[in-house]
Amino acid sequence: MSLQHIRRTLAGVFFSALALTSIGAVFFATDWVWRSLRPAQDTPVSWAERLIQYGIIYVLLLAILKTCYTWKKPRSMPANRPIFCFLPKYNHIVNLDHDLIHSANPQDDLSAILSSFGFRVFKKRSDQLSLVRGFELGDFSIKLAKVRLYFELPLTSQTRMSIEGGGRVFAPFFDNGDLWAFATELNDKITSCRDATNPSPQEETPNPHQ
């Protein structure tokens, strides 16, 4: 196990614990406000009231974070894998093959390349191609989590790709580098297709018999 992997694991544990502590602090603070505003009664607060209270708090926090994630603009993808990123969304310039962008159906060809990762087209606009894969309630693993890709149209040799996680309800509120690694893997896949269709010229070996 490499030192970098240990650092990412420890960072993930630390920020997960910090997030749980923050949520617990919000719960206790809200409980104190609830008790202060609630008329004084001889009967204690029932568990049903507490469950309703915590459910409302959870839904509000989820809605606030989801709204922040939806409206947040993607950032340029860093050169190195981040240890922690809050509300991760990335922009990256991908190099597309000349034959692909000048083919009869360049969007279909790009979708076919990404279909090996499970992506499918879910929306087409005049200025954007959108693809999605994964499940709304899949897993915390990047292999099952829902991921969305956006490509600027028309496709050019250097096209902007945006990547984000989550579906209509849930979103990745922090990233320990998995989304970055997945975006890098997608870029390498597209680049490898470009290199396969445009191999670099090899130097000719002189014939000693000439």
Residue closest to 28 by CA, chosen among 64, 54, 49, 55: 54
Instruction: Please give the structure tokens belonging to residue 207.
Output: 């014939």
For the chain, the domains span 3-70, 73-197
* 147-152 and 128-133 strand pairing: antiparallel
Look up the pTM and report it.
0.71
Spell out the per-residue pLDDT of the chain, length 210, in tens: 566 556 655 655 665 566 667 666 766 776 676 666 666 555 566 777 777 777 777 788 778 888 888 888 999 999 898 888 888 999 999 999 888 888 899 999 999 999 999 899 999 999 999 999 987 554 445 566 789 999 999 999 999 999 998 766 667 777 788 889 999 999 999 887 755 545 444 444 455 555
The CATH number given to 73-197 is: 3.30.310
Asked if residue 171 lies in contact with residue 66, where contact means CB atoms within 8 angstroms, the answer is yes
